[in-house]
Amino acid sequence: MPKLKLTYFAFDGGRGEPIRLALACGKIPFEDHRFPPSDWPTMKDQTPLHQVPVMEVDGKVITQSNTLLRYAGKLAGLYPNDPLEAAHCDEAMETIEDIVTKIVPTMFMQDEEEKRRAREALAAGPIPLYLRRLETMLKERGGKYFAGDRLSVADFKVFLWTRHLQSGQLDHIPKDIVQRLTPTLTEHFKRISAVPEIVDYYKKRAAA
């Protein structure tokens, strides 16, 4: 097994969290290097593309969050071998990347009115569009998981995004948007929340 070190912000979310979950669920040893956001200005230039997460694999650095998630999934047995199932997995993961890319700029808006307008526009159009597409994918693939009718890293990525939407951390986006618009995704969220390894992971995090 390679020696792994994952570097990402010191919070339980964002693009690094699905990778952590995959490694934890697969019982893959890794160094979970977390740093406070306040350290980012001094750390940024130390990363190849001035972004995180990054992973060191036997001392060599790999970037790009979905690349790292696929790699972690393969190590953990949580990424499909079948080409079509792998495409289904990737489709869900890239769908989350698309909508997250639209949301992230609003997190840096200093003007509250500008942020409100931007978030309300997202809640009126793009977020429902992406939620409904994800729900369609899920239904077409059996209604429980996004690839191969079994747990995969795509499920972690979708689970964490829907968790974020429901958390109330995104001002001006209704916390109940997932429940109102996509009941099958709501059930998916509950299903992934109850995976024993994920329950155990967050219990350990809470106790840390």
Q: pLDDT tens, 126-171?
A: 999 999 999 999 999 999 999 999 999 999 999 999 999 999 999 9
* Confidence bin at 207 (pLDDT 50/70/90): confident
CATH annotation of 83-195: 1.20.1050.10
4-77 belongs to which CATH class? alpha beta
Q: What is the pTM of this model?
A: 0.95
Q: Can you tell me the mean pLDDT for 64-77? A: 98
Q: Where in the chain is the domain with CATH 1.20.1050.10?
A: 83-195
Q: What is the pLDDT of residue 1?
A: 86
> What is the secondary structure of the chain as a DSSP string?
---EEEEEESSS-TTTHHHHHHHHHTT---EEEEE-GGGHHHHGGGSTTS-S-EEEETTEEEE-HHHHHHHHHHHHT-S-SSHHHHHHHHHHHHHHHHHHHHHGGGGG---HHHHHHHHHHHHHTHHHHHHHHHHHHHHHTTSS-SBTTB--HHHHHHHHHHHHHHTT-STTS-TTHHHHH-HHHHHHHHHHHT-HHHHHHHHHHHH-
* Confidence bin at 189 (pLDDT 50/70/90): very high
Q: Where in the chain is the domain with CATH 3.40.30.10?
A: 4-77
Of all residues in the chain, the percent with pLDDT exceeding 90 is 99
Q: What is the pLDDT of residue 38?
A: 95
